[in-house]
């Protein structure tokens, strides 16, 4: 429904669908496109909600409560660190809490937009709508990295043959991120001068406090688990390890932009795409691609080759180039979301375009590897591990 | 069966004209007291129906899905402002209210709630949190009078009522997931 709404009915409010934009399109799109998109997003949310509720139910069943899933009984000293939940359970609990909250807020604002699209005379407070939209959107986007990091915790343990030990600092960091992720969406509203000042100050202060604890314990943990472990590097482990770098450097422009005085001049420039391309492509996507390579290695006899190594190096260079071009454009005050550029803005944009082509090539190599894995896996007998020719 | 009798007594009380008129004269009482009490009366009567027409329930509501969908649909219908107006001016709609809420919602809800999967139960709870939150927003923030029969101030009060219920549901969920549930049917 989202795809049909966007491509067939030319709905183009972007993911933010900020009220009253779905209805107020200046004839760029009509009711059908807006309704297809909004209801499609709603159904998507229902699917995710069912998934998170099931995962939450499993954690409560096994650990007693979501608090225990976050290791609060270990933090309070009722249980020893040796009996703490695994890092995967802790990260999953955090994501369940924040995303269920996000989806509930998102459903409310989506339906309100639907009502406004059907009956434009029915208007509501746009500032409350914006708050709810970002309470949904920021949390949901932010949680991607927290879901991806589960792959880092699990896969680096496999590669290094060392356990990723959970301690109290790790647990406190994840609990802090659980609370702060829910509260920091206001850093998207720093330019809304009508917002209460305390909410904006909270957005700045907690943005600093949110990103760093989990990032530091995870990046430091990754360095420690790898250090002198005799790890055998391949594309999967390299992507997973490099994702830590992407996360660390990608979060820096975000924290800079979450500073009110900086945000006033940088937020509507390409600085922000610079942040999220680095954070998502070099952080979250590298985790996902690393997981794909790990899965292929574990579940088949597929071998990586020169193309994959080229893909890895090309991907890293391309994303650094692409994100760097956005950040440079931002530093030059190039506005974002503009269809056309004046000549003075074109230098970094062209550089970014070339980097984007390299990123496309590298990603295609990753995808081809994964398709090859699926084809080989489908031909392999599950019981014997032999392919159909060998069985014959 | 005593519970079912309580349900019948409650239902009879609710249909008494003075009680009915008194409840329907105030918007928040109409929406957040009369309608829920009608559902409660059906819930209390459900035991009788579950025994008398057990085969019917087993055949048509085996896993509780059909019943819970019916419950959600009917409750959504009765949350729409226009239906409150229609119940006041149309005898048929008023009759539908007094039949649908106890017998198609209360009775069916009790039969379905014990049958549906815990994940679906949680989903239903979150669905109502979103819906009640939305209604709180609509009734508090609406720029127009949404019911002919009630004043704008009445709808604002109703909106705050919905907000209280939303907050209550959120607190219930929070205490449920953050207290020890070891050994429960989660």
Residue A211, CA distances (Å) to A192, A217, A277 in order: 23, 11, 17
Residues from chain A contacting residue B122 (CB–CB below 8 Å): 53, 56-57
CA A226 and chain centroid, separation = 24
What is the rounded average pLDDT of the residues A250-269?
Answer: 89
CB contact under 8 A, B180 and A112: no
Of the partner residues B133, B177, B182, the one whose CB lies closest to the CB of residue A56:
B177
CB contact under 8 A, A67 and B178: yes
In a domain, B185, yes or no: no
> How high is the ipTM of this complex?
0.85
In a domain, B183, yes or no: no
CB contact under 8 A, A57 and B142: no
Helix axes A31-63, B118-141, angle to 10 degrees: 130
A249, A274 in Cβ contact below 8 A?
Answer: no
The residue of chain A nearest to residue B145, with distances taken between CA atoms, is A122
A127 in contact with B, Cβ within 8 Å: no
What CATH code is assigned to A1-232?
1.20.210.10
CB contact under 8 A, B130 and A104: yes
Phi, psi values for residue A375, rounded to 5°:
-65, -45
In a domain, B44, yes or no: yes
CB contact under 8 A, A57 and B186: yes
Cα separation of A389 and A371, whole Å?
A: 20
Residues from chain B contacting residue A121 (CB–CB below 8 Å): 144
Cα separation of A303 and A314, whole Å?
A: 19
Residue B185, CA distances (Å) to A97, A150, B182 in order: 20, 28, 9
CB contact under 8 A, A61 and B179: no
pLDDT of residue B180: 84
List the structure tokens of A273. Answer: 């795409």
SS3 B179: coil
Residue A381 pLDDT > 70: no
Cα separation of A210 and A42, whole Å?
A: 28
List the structure tokens of A169. Answer: 């600092």
The residue of chain A nearest to residue B146, with distances taken between CA atoms, is A122
pLDDT of residue A389: 58
Smallest Cα distance from A153 to chain B, Å: 25
Cα separation of B160 and B136, whole Å?
A: 6
Phi, psi values for residue A380, rounded to 5°:
-90, 135
Mutate: best of A60, A71, A78, A129, partner B, most B CBs <10 A: A60
Residues from chain B contacting residue A100 (CB–CB below 8 Å): 126
Mutate: best of B133, B165, B169, B176, partner A, most A CBs <10 A: B133
Task: Give the count of domains, chain B.
Answer: 1
CB contact under 8 A, B142 and A124: yes
Range A223-237 burial, b when 16+ CB lie within 10 A, else e: eebbeeeebeebbbb
What's the pLDDT tens digit per position in B56-99? 888 898 899 999 999 999 999 999 888 999 999 999 999 999 99
CB contact under 8 A, B126 and A53: yes
Question: What secondary structure does DSSP assign to A7-32, as a single string?
Answer: IIS-----TT--TTTTT--TTSS-HH
In a domain, B113, yes or no: yes
A118 in contact with B, Cβ within 8 Å: no
B136, B163 in Cβ contact below 8 A?
Answer: yes
What's the pLDDT tens digit per position in B129-143? 999 999 999 999 888
In a domain, B184, yes or no: no
What's the pLDDT tens digit per position in A223-236? 888 888 888 888 99
Question: What secondary structure does DSSP assign to B33-99, as a single string?
Answer: IIHHHHHHHHHHHHHHHHHHTHHHHHHHSSSSHHHHHHHHHHHHHHHSHHHHHHHHH-HHHHHHHHH
In a domain, B53, yes or no: yes
Range in A151-155, A281-285, A344-348, B180-184 with the lowest mean pLDDT: B180-184
**Residues, chain A:** 392
Scanning chain A, the segments in alpha helix (DSSP H) are 2-3, 31-63, 66-69, 72-75, 87-118, 126-160, 168-183, 197-226, 235-257, 260-266, 271-277, 286-299, 306-331, 346-379, 388-391
The residue of chain B nearest to residue A53, with distances taken between CA atoms, is B119
Of the partner residues B118, B134, B137, the one whose CB lies closest to the CB of residue A57:
B118
CB contact under 8 A, B177 and A121: no
CATH 1.20.210.10 intervals, chain A: 1-232
Surface-to-core class of residue A176, CB atoms within 10 Å of its CB (0-12 exposed, 13-18 middle, 19+ buried): middle
What's the pLDDT tens digit per position in B107-130? 999 999 999 988 999 999 999 999
A76 in contact with B, Cβ within 8 Å: no
Domain of residue B14, residue span: 2-178
Phi, psi values for residue A280, rounded to 5°:
-80, -50
What is the rounded average pLDDT of the residues A292-299?
Answer: 91
Residue A122 pLDDT > 90: no
């Amino acid at each position: 429904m989202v795809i049909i709404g966007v491509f067939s009915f030319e709905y183009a409010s972007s993911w933010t669908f900020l009220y009253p934009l779905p209805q107020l399109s200046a004839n760029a799109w009509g009711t059908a496109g807006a309704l297809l998109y909004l209801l499609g997003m709603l159904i998507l949310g229902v699917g995710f909600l069912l998934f998170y509720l099931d995962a939450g139910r499993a954690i409560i069943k096994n650990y007693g409560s979501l608090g225990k899933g976050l290791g609060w009984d270990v933090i309070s000293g009722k249980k020893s660190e040796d009996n703490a939940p695994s890092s995967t359970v802790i990260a999953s609990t955090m994501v369940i809490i924040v995303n269920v909250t996000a989806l509930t807020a998102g459903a409310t604002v989506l339906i309100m937009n639907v009502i406004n699209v059907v009956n434009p005379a029915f208007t509501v407070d746009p500032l409350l709508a914006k708050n709810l939209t970002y309470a949904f959107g920021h949390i949901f986007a932010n949680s991607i990295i927290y879901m991806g990091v589960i792959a880092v915790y699990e896969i680096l343990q496999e590669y290094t043959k060392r356990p990723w030990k959970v301690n109290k600092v790790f647990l406190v960091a994840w609990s802090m991120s659980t609370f702060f992720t829910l509260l920091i969406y206001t850093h998207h509203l720093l330019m809304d001068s009508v917002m209460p000042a305390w909410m904006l100050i909270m957005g700045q202060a907690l943005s600093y406090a949110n990103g760093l604890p989990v990032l530091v314990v995870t990046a430091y943990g990754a360095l420690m688990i790898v250090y002198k472990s005799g790890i055998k590097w391949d594309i999967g482990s390299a992507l997973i390890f490099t994702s830590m770098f992407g996360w660390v450097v990608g979060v820096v422009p975000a924290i800079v932009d979450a500073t009110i005085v900086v945000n006033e001049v940088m937020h509507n420039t390409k600085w922000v795409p610079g942040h999220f391309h680095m954070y998502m492509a070099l952080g979250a996507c590298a985790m996902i691609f690393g997981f794909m390579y790990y899965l292929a290695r574990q579940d088949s006899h597929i071998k990586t080759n020169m193309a994959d190594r080229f893909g890895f190096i090309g991907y890293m260079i391309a994303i650094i180039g692409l994100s760097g071009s956005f950040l440079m454009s931002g530093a030059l005050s190039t506005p974002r979301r503009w269809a056309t550029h004046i000549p003075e803005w074109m230098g970094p944009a062209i550089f970014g375009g070339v980097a984007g082509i390299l990123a496309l090539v590298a990603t295609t190599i990753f995808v081809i590897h994964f398709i090859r894995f699926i084809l080989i896996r489908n031909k392999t007998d599950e019981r014997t591990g032999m392919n159909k020719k060998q069985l014959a | 069966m005593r519970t079912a009798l309580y349900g019948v007594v409650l239902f009879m009380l609710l249909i008494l004209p003075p009680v009915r008129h008194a409840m329907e004269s105030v918007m928040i009482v109409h929406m957040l007291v009369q309608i829920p009490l009608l559902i409660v009366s059906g819930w209390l009567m459900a035991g009788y129906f579950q025994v008398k027409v057990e085969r019917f329930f087993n055949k048509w509501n085996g896993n509780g899905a059909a019943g819970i969908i019916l419950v959600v649909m009917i409750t959504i219908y009765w949350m729409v402002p226009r239906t409150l107006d229609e119940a006041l001016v149309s005898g048929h709609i008023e009759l539908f209210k007094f039949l649908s809420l106890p017998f198609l919602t209360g009775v069916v809800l009790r039969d379905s709630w014990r049958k549906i999967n815990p994940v679906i139960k949680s989903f239903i709870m979150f669905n109502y949190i979103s819906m009640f939150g939305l209604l709180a927003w609509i009734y508090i923030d609406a720029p127009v009078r949404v019911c002919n029969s009630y004043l704008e101030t009445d709808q604002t009060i109703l909106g705050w009522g919905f907000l209280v219920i939303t907050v209550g549901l959120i607190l219930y969920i929070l205490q449920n997931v953050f207290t020890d549930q070891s050994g429960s049917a989660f």
